[in-house]
Amino acid sequence: MKTIEIDRIDGKARLGRLSTGHGQIDTPVFMPVGTQGVVKAMTHLQLKDLGVKMILANAYHLYLRPGDELIKRMGGLHRFCGWDGAMLTDSGGYQIFSLGVLREIKEDGVLFQSHIDGSRHFLTPEKMVHVQENIGADVAMCLDECVSYPSTSEYTRDSVELTTRWAKRCLQAKTDSPQKLFGIIQGGFYPELRIRSAHDILALDFDGFAIGGLSVGEPKSLMWDMVDTVIDLMPADKPRYMMGIGLPEDLLEGVKRGIDMFDCIIPTRFARNGSLFTWDGRINIKNARFTEDKGPIDEECSCYTCRTYSRAYLRHLVVSHELTSFYLNTVHNVHFYMELMRRVRDALENGTFGAFYHDFKLRYEGGESDDRCSVCNG
């Protein structure tokens, strides 16, 4: 069975269905991030009510706590956390990269110090495949090296070669588990190295492919240049995943280029900080102008928060540091993202994605924005 079936193409944008062990997922799809097996401030029941079909968890964090062996004994992560939808686990390459001086990259793997208790660990590509098979997500990611921005061409070249060798070892380590395994294209911000990585990784028999190593501090125009460099090299019959990208305008840019899958902490992290998405742009509910605003976050939104509460009340909760604000704001932001992707898919189905893209950007750019928050790895 193919991992993805593409039903319609509009320009380069693709409408399809991703096959997983927990059902088919309509694509393009946005996956809320549940690093520890839970999306912060949400229950799984609420996620399902909002239309979430697939979430992302992080193998690095789950390996450290509570441990992949414990999760396996508990019947796998789906049973352990009570989520019966689809799930993808990131190998933690970005998180290990973020440790900086607390980690050392070797040919065999990565030696690092736990951010939790300072204990030392050594993870190899084979170990990360084993860890993710214990966790039991529907889709697993290879261990890769994510280089910083900027990095020299010499270091980036060596990193590309290492990521390819690790990818081959990941494939060799995979058992007959039904879990899908995706390879990751790296190459930093050098077009020739992106192309080299793409050729090397795409030559391997992975179930899908991701574009990694972006949103690490580079200008957004450079990020899209790197996507444009490799997207046409990626096979049409396998899923295309852009890792860690999640502002609404970026989702549309990715879809326009032919990306099928996205994840990001933006909708949930922003919600906890009072930054809320509307069809007219993003607002900061903490602003004083909402002190006596009787309206909902967004007049067009049908989520529980917008049906029930005013902007004034939500502002009161945030500035009063009430934990309930985390929940109510997250409900709204996740609903917005699910509705955005539903409208994207409807536009693709109807052959009107180009018009939808234009109209959305024209309207959305009228709201508040903060380009410092344009990346969301972590």
- Give one DSSP letter per residue of 99-146, joined into a string: TGGGEEE-SS-EEEE-TTT--EEEE-HHHHHHHHHHHT-SEEE----P
Give the C-alpha separation, 125 to 163, whole Å.
10
CA–centroid distance for 245 within its chain:
6
> What would the two tokens of residue 210 be?
């991701």
Strand extents, DSSP E, the chain: 4-10, 13-20, 23-27, 29-32, 54-58, 86-90, 103-105, 110-113, 120-123, 139-141, 180-185, 208-211, 240-242, 261-264, 275-278, 281-284
User: Which of 10, 90, 200, 298 is flagged as catalytic?
Assistant: 90
**Residue from 92, 94, 112 nearest 102 by CA:** 112
Q: Is 263 a catalytic residue?
A: yes
198: Cβ–Cβ under 8 A, 6 or more apart, which residues?
185, 187, 229, 230, 233, 234
HSE-up of residue 264 (Cα within 13 Å, Cβ side): 26
> What would the two tokens of residue 275 be?
């930054």
Give the C-alpha separation, 242 to 214, whole Å.
9
> What would the two tokens of residue 112 be?
């690092």
Containing H/E element for 257? helix 248-257
User: Which of 10, 207, 260, 263 is flagged as catalytic?
Assistant: 263
CA distances from 300 to 97, 218, 220, 279, 332 (A): 40, 34, 29, 8, 12
Q: Is 84 a catalytic residue?
A: no
> What would the two tokens of residue 127 be?
């170990």
Name the strands in the sheet holding 4-10, side by side, starting at the edge strand that comes first in the sequence: 4-10, 13-20, 23-27
Q: 98 exposed, middle or buried (CB, 10 Å; 0-12, 13-18, 19+)?
A: middle
226, amino acid identity:
M
> What would the two tokens of residue 126 be?
């084979």
Active site residues: 90, 263
